[in-house]
Amino acid sequence: MIDRVVRVLDTFSDTRTVQSASDIGRRAGLPSATAHRLVDDLVAAGLLERDDEHHIRLGMRLWELALRGSRALRLRQAALPHMEAVQARIREHTQLAVLENDEALFLERLSHPDAGANITRVAGRLALHASSSGLVLLAHAPDEVRERVLGNPLPAVSPETVTDAGALRTLLAEVRTRGFVVAPGSVETVSTGVAVPVRDRGEVVAALSVILPRHAPAESAVAILRAAARAIETDLARDGHERWTGGKLPSH
């Protein structure tokens, strides 16, 4: 049943925000009567919304329930002021991503009006081995995740994506040693991704990145990103401390 709910929600995307119940059923692989009944139940609960013309959208109530107590919101709220500071200096796309089911999931993207090409979207995904954010997340992922990803096919996202597991293994070790990655052309030929890790209580929980024009120098971007990552880490630690001391200890 929960699997069916996920299949229904999964039919919506950034380019498909409005659908009929019949289309949802077809795309979710559900029998029509089942789909209509499930959509009715989800509308009644506010997780979906139906307009006067029977178009179905994701519900604001779903958005609220998914965000209110989420790690995604906490990370993003700690990161946003520092991402704005990065963007004010670098004036390109500034992004925050987390590891989710062997891919990089983007929690936030700030886009300067003058910024260049960028295929990422908020709540969109990219392959770990191709994007600069993904490389940072993969470098610091649990061993079993890294081995699984490197053991599976590594498709080229652009002609320059590193797709050789051995070369990637060397690159990931460098990322861990240096504390950043510069990935020219690995997602789009015209761009260079630059990413650094963000830690919470010692563990890498996110990657902070900027997308530069292909041949822009990366040194100052690395320094700006590292300073911003430290600032985010300070705010995450303070936030954690406030939760700990503010009588809001998780009960278990």
- Which residue ranges make up the site for a copy of itself (CB under 8 A)? 1-3, 5-6, 9-10, 12-20, 23, 41-42, 44-47, 53-55, 57-58, 60-74, 77, 80-81, 84, 98, 100-101, 105, 107, 110-111, 113, 121-125, 243, 248, 250-252
CB closer to a copy of itself out of 140 and 192: 140
238, amino acid identity: R
CB closer to a copy of itself out of 19 and 95: 19
Question: Whose CA is closest to 106, among 88, 126, 91?
Answer: 126
In DSSP notation, 23-72 reads HHHHHHT--HHHHHHHHHHHHHTTSEEE-TT--EEE-HHHHHHHHHT-HH
Task: Find the shortest distance in angstroms from Cβ 80 to a copy of itself.
Answer: 7
Task: Find the shortest distance in angstroms from Cβ 242 to a copy of itself.
Answer: 10
Q: Where are the beta strands (DSSP E) in 69-111?
A: 93-100, 103-110
Residues in the chain: 252
CA distances from 86 to 22, 83, 94 (A): 45, 5, 7
CB closer to a copy of itself out of 64 and 164: 64
Task: Find the shortest distance in angstroms from Cβ 207 to a copy of itself.
Answer: 14
CB closer to a copy of itself out of 52 and 219: 52
- Segment holding 240, helix H or strand E: helix 219-245
Task: Find the shortest distance in angstroms from Cβ 129 to a copy of itself.
Answer: 19
CA distance 71 to 79: 12
CB closer to a copy of itself out of 105 and 187: 105
Task: Find the shortest distance in angstroms from Cβ 48 to a copy of itself.
Answer: 10
Task: Using DSSP, state whether 151 is helix, strand or coil.
Answer: helix
